[in-house]
Amino acid sequence: MEIIKPTPKNPPRPALLSSDEGSFAYTSAAYRWPVIITKIIDDVYKTRHLLPILKNENDNNHSKRMEIEEKNREGKEIMDSIAGLKYQMQRGKKLIPIEDDGESDIDNWNYVFHKYFERENWYSAAWLFTECYLYRRIRSIFAKTKHWHDYDPFFRQKSESFKASINSVIEISKRIDQLIITATTATMATSTSTLLDQQRIIFHELVLISLWGNATDLSLLPNLNHEDIKKLQNTGDKLLKESEKNILANDLDKVWNVISKYRKTRIDFILDNAGFELFGDLILADWLIQTEYASEIHFHVKSIPWFVSDTTIFDFNWLLKTLNDISDNNSDNINDNNSDKNIKNIKNIKIDNISDANSIKKLINRWQIYIKKNQWIIETHHFWTSPYSYWHMSEQAPDLYLNLSKSSLIIYKGDLNYRKLVYDCKWSITNTSFKEAIGPLASEKDSSPPLLALRTCKAEVLVGIDESRIPSFDDEKDWMYSGKYAVIQFHHHH
């Protein structure tokens, strides 16, 4: 019997479609996407409005004035093009090829389009494809311009979101040093088993920060003086159980059993959201380096603005510079803004408490040393913004696949990475194991590295859930995509 190989159009189970009325895929296409697109138009309008006006024909600013006028004109054309995209999408028009915009992935994108989707419309094509296609079309509109080529229409939202999280950043920064000291220092009175148990609890907590982002209950992280360390030992498991009650599948203990045996390994993060969630990822990575479970951490970011909040190289570097500037109380000088010099979203962040500023400064100094010493490596690859499921990584991105094969653990963050891991299709929630759903990534013959998915549930695809853990459907009809629930799922070859 011939085995039919899954394709972007025909995944291993029926694809999620935006045409399924009542589904979250339908809600996304009909309601979420138009709002996202409208916000892009608003963002470009705001940036155009901030462009300086140079009226004097006789001054030395003629060339500058012409440049501003050209940028303003391009901005208007972008707004019109985005509005046209919104019109096509809302009316379920036939999908069209992506215009040649000079990007290196254009041939690959249009190959997938022509092979699988050229007869489809916005609602009949697989939801995973159309959602990725939407963001690639948006990128194309900006990529074809002169003055807006590197502009991120989502940066304003990402930076404002981080600004709203600054108190949490301060709190975690103050506590992480003591967490590291506690996790790395064995005293005369501290047995190896006790130290490992402390590390286990702290590891759980830091993973939860990475998982939940700003929804994390920071009260779970004690300040850890001598008495608090005893409290951590006595109540840690109870606190963890409470904080993990909304995690429907939780393999954290399995992960710890593997990581706790590591010594100076390589760990990879396939990043998701910028801002505070990225900050949480870096906190976890910092702890892994300091405890010497890892000596090298690779962060994989997106090469283009993607799914509104995904981390780009610019976002990663911006976070580090912003933390450095606010720790110096130099927030008035922060002006990293889409290479535009007009957006100052973080200008008003001030840290009046010197101790708080010093905590962040100590943190950022350590992180900058990691980068300088190549202990932290930032990477990008066009595969992360392709329409393919990760089932196709070895054939579509063999260089990336080979690179990741050198890792001791790959941590996939967020909802979209999860959807791509499990091929975004209608698996049985309770009768499909995570191992089955990740397909070739779990292949024994490839000896692929251990794989960890940290995901808050924001789409109607889910596997490996015990029936007893499924919330009452009558009480929470949106439980699969509300973001209230999460999964921590792990696969490794025993």
* Position 133 pLDDT exceeds 60: yes
Residue 179 has what pLDDT?
A: 83
Are the C-beta atoms of 71 and 51 separated by less than 8 Å? Answer: yes
Q: 48 and 187 share a domain?
A: no
Residue 340 has what pLDDT?
A: 47
User: Tens digits of per-residue pLDDT, 148-196?
Assistant: 999 999 999 999 989 888 888 998 898 888 888 777 775 545 677 888 8
Pairwise CA distance, residues 224 & 180, whole Å? 10
pTM of the prediction? 0.92
Q: 119 and 189 share a domain?
A: no
pLDDT grade, residue 1 (50/70/90)?
A: very low
* Position 49 pLDDT exceeds 90: yes
Residue 237 has what pLDDT?
A: 58
Residue 60 has what pLDDT?
A: 64
Q: 87 and 188 share a domain?
A: no
Mean pLDDT value of segment 331-348: 48
> Three-state DSSP class for 324?
helix
Higher pLDDT, 10 or 55: 10
Are the C-beta atoms of 417 and 270 separated by less than 8 Å? Answer: yes
Mean pLDDT value of segment 473-483: 83
CB atoms within 10 A of CB 296: 19
Q: Which amino acid appears at position 492 of this protein?
A: H
Q: 429 and 401 share a domain?
A: yes
Indicate which CATH number applies to the domain containing 45. Answer: 1.20.930.60
Q: 125 and 198 share a domain?
A: no
**Among 151, 174, 204, residue at a domain's last position:** 151
The DSSP H or E segment spanning 40 is helix 33-49
Q: How is residue 245 written in tokens? A: 């009650």
* Position 334 pLDDT exceeds 60: no
User: Tens digits of per-residue pLDDT, 253-268?
Assistant: 999 999 999 999 999 9
Distances (CA, A) of 405 to 167, 259, 335, 395: 38, 17, 39, 14
Are the C-beta atoms of 439 and 459 separated by less than 8 Å? Answer: no
Residue 355 has what pLDDT?
A: 84
Q: 143 and 189 share a domain?
A: no
Q: 198 and 264 share a domain?
A: yes
Structural domain tally of the chain? Answer: 2
pLDDT grade, residue 228 (50/70/90)?
A: low
Measured in residues, the chain has a length of: 494
Which residues have a Cβ under 8 Å from the Cβ of 42 and sit 6 or more positions away? Answer: none
* Position 230 pLDDT exceeds 90: no
Q: 376 and 466 share a domain?
A: yes
Domain-embedded: residue 8: no
